[in-house]
Amino acid sequence: MKIDFTTMTIYELIALILSGVAILIPIIAAIWKKFIVTAKLNYFPNGNATLFFNQSGSYLQIDGVFEAKRKPIVIKKMTVSVKRKKDDKKLNLNWSSLISPVNQNIVGNYLRTTERAHPFQINANSMACAFVEFTDTLDTDGKTIMINMAEITEKALQYSLYYKSYDEAKNTYQSYNGYISAKNNISKEFFWEIGKYEIEIVTEYNKRRSKYKLLLNVDESNYQQLNSNIDEVLLVPLKKRYGVPFAFVQANVEVVNLD
């Protein structure tokens, strides 16, 4: 149908223009939102990190929150690079577990839910907790540690058959030359020395990548806590034979945002 604008009153023309604008606005808005507006991902560490050393080597957990601005965001992968500032040695880790920020108190014991790391979505203009454990998914350190544990594991079996008490077996076991040699080698895999560490978290999302820089400090107390785990790693095969609980400890440290 052909419209004759010459016969229209000014009011009819204005009404026609407004109708056209009303039709175009949602179309323009949809195009703007889909093709022009970009998603932005913000990361806010809550100031806490947990450092570990055990049979899997050195690794850590970092607690924080993601914020999705303007559009929904799918977090596809996270990696972390930890650089020891005094010698620039690096520890490169991948996300391995997502830790629930909710604690359950069951008969005085606090439990937290852990799930294998996986992509997750954050709705537009909302936030999501990201308590993430980062480990060496290739288990490079773990394999090195287990190689050094092979001989003393056999010794642990022999001593458990000979000694009735764990303490007697432990004294002989720790004075054995193979134990001392294994401890020296495993100590070389220990990463958490006293000093400052720069952390770079790389997050892949929506075909993009963001980097966030943090700083943490390992003090004398943290070092002593974690270093004691070297002996605990070596005692694992003997403790298994005697049914003695493991006594691994972790170090909670403060994290500062450098961005």
What is residue 100's predicted lDDT score, i.e. its pLDDT? 81
What residue spans define the domains of the chain? 5-36, 40-142+180-257
Cut 0.85: pTM above it: no
DSSP the chain: ----GGG--HHHHHHHHHHHHHHHHHHHHHHIIIII---EEEEEEEEEEEEEEETTEEEEEEEEEEEEESS-EEEEEEEEEEEETTTTEEEEEEEEEEEEEEEEEETTEEEEEEEE---EEE-TTEEEEEEEEEE-TT-HHHHHHHHHHHHHHHHHHHHHHH-SSHHHHHHHHHHSHHHHHHHHHHHTT----SEEEEEEEEEEETTEEEEEEEEEEE-HHHHHHHHHHHHHHHHHHHHHHHTPPP----EEEEEEE--
What is residue 166's predicted lDDT score, i.e. its pLDDT? 93
What is residue 258's predicted lDDT score, i.e. its pLDDT? 81
User: Could you list the pLDDT tens digit for every one of the 259 residues in the chain?
Assistant: 555 545 666 766 666 666 766 776 666 555 546 655 578 899 999 999 999 999 999 999 999 999 999 889 999 999 999 999 999 999 999 999 998 876 665 555 666 678 899 999 999 899 999 999 999 877 666 688 888 888 899 999 999 898 889 999 999 999 989 999 999 999 998 999 999 999 999 999 988 899 999 999 999 999 999 999 999 999 999 999 999 999 999 999 999 988 7
What is residue 136's predicted lDDT score, i.e. its pLDDT? 87
What is residue 240's predicted lDDT score, i.e. its pLDDT? 93
What is residue 151's predicted lDDT score, i.e. its pLDDT? 87
